[in-house]
Structure 1
Amino acid sequence: MTSDNHGPSAPTLEFVTCIHVDVAAPLELGKDRLGRRRFIPITGGHFSGPGLNGRVLAGGGDWQTLRPDGVAELEARYFLQTDAGELIEVTNTGYRHAPKDVMARLVNGEVVPAEAYYFQTTPRLHTASDDLGWLNRTIFIGAAQRLPDDVIINLFAVTGAS
């Protein structure tokens, strides 16, 4: 094995778009062995930024498990439609956690400053559009914020090392 003085290079992030996902009241399944299970319907929304613009289509949803350790596991599935009419399927998984009192406020629908809690996601985007084919081969990170009636996700593409 050869030794070199070059350590790993960190990837960089490039801002793509800001997604505003409108949501309805949660449907509570109740507690099971994994935690408190709930579903939040997605009713629409919009997105805009230097890389993508358009609207969030109604009909998707966010399946959540609020674990006993205070972590919310999230898995949302929905469609975006660009201003040009191209469809993008989104599967977005992530974690939201904070001190117990902050999590209780979020779950109760209160407005809490984004810096008071951790809410990061790893969206996967898929499209049949040739023009947007780069979405099918790019890793994305989402920095999110929960508001009473919507979720804001700042979407970043992971690019090569700096």
Structure 2
Amino acid sequence: MRAPVPGLALSFSLRVDLAAPIEIGRGRAGGRRIIPIIGGAALGPDIRGEVLNLGADWQTVFDDGAAHLDTRYALKTGDGAVIEIVNIGTRHGPPELMDRLAACEEVDPATYYMRTAARLETGDARYRWVNHMLFLCAGLRRASAVEIDYYKVT
């Protein structure tokens, strides 16, 4: 007997608006920067609302251009619930494409890898199901935003 093979079901998509990166400089593992999260939108089917103007992505950029993504932010649903999101992952691709992304140029998302695992949490009973769900995400970088699809692991 084997455990069921996990499936994926689209839960919602986010457009996360970003301020200009704050460059910290070289840390122990690579270049460090903080990218403030200043707003955005959540589009269902499970969750609809707005990304709040708080939070950030604390990135480490390695010598090969790959970025470790470490974000914490929140969204407020259209019916008033607040949901915390912690999202950890990686973005990598050919060095010339990573340079273009760092310069805020549009790059075809099929030419690089941007995947994360997210944990959501809320105290609102209407959305308590997110506290017990794993989410896998696929994203793309725009000039001043990221777009991320959140898939429930079923």
1:46-65 residue pairs with structure 2 within 5 A? 46-65=41-60
Give the superposition deviation at 1:68.
1.9
Q: CA RMSD in A?
A: 1.1
State how far apart, in whole Å, the 1-side matches of 2:34 and 2:71 are: 9
Identity %: 42
The one-letter code matched in structure 1 to 2:6 is P
The one-letter code matched in structure 2 to 1:63 is W
Q: What is residue 132 of structure 1 aligned with on the other side?
A: 127
- SS of 1:148 mapped into structure 2: coil
Q: What is residue 21 of structure 1 aligned with on the other side?
A: 16
1:24-103 residue pairs with structure 2 within 5 A? 24-103=19-98
Contact kept, 8 Å, 2:64 with 2:95, in 1: the verdict is no
The one-character-per-residue Cα deviations of 1:30-55 (angstroms, maximum 9, x if unpaired) are 11221000000011000112100000
TM-score between the two structures when normalised by the length of structure 1: 0.92
State how far apart, in whole Å, the 1-side matches of 2:5 and 2:97 are: 32
State how far apart, in whole Å, the 1-side matches of 2:118 and 2:142 are: 19
Kindly indicate whether residue 138 of structure 2 is the aligned counterpart of residue 143 of structure 1.
yes
- SS of 2:125 mapped into structure 1: coil
Q: Which one of the candidate residues 3, 10, 14 is aligned to 2:5?
A: 10
Question: How many residue pairs align between the two structures?
Answer: 154
State how far apart, in whole Å, the 2-side matches of 1:100 and 1:83 are: 40
Q: What is residue 107 of structure 1 aligned with on the other side?
A: 102
State how far apart, in whole Å, the 1-side matches of 2:66 and 2:53 are: 27
The one-letter code matched in structure 1 to 2:7 is T
User: After the TM superposition, which segments of 4 or more aligned residues of structure 1 sit over 6 Å from their partners?
Assistant: none
Q: Which has the larger radius of gyration?
A: 1
Give the superposition deviation at 1:8.
5.4
TM-score between the two structures when normalised by the length of structure 2: 0.96
- SS of 2:143 mapped into structure 1: coil
Contact kept, 8 Å, 2:12 with 2:45, in 1: the verdict is yes
- SS of 2:126 mapped into structure 1: coil
The one-letter code matched in structure 2 to 1:124 is R
- SS of 1:70 mapped into structure 2: coil
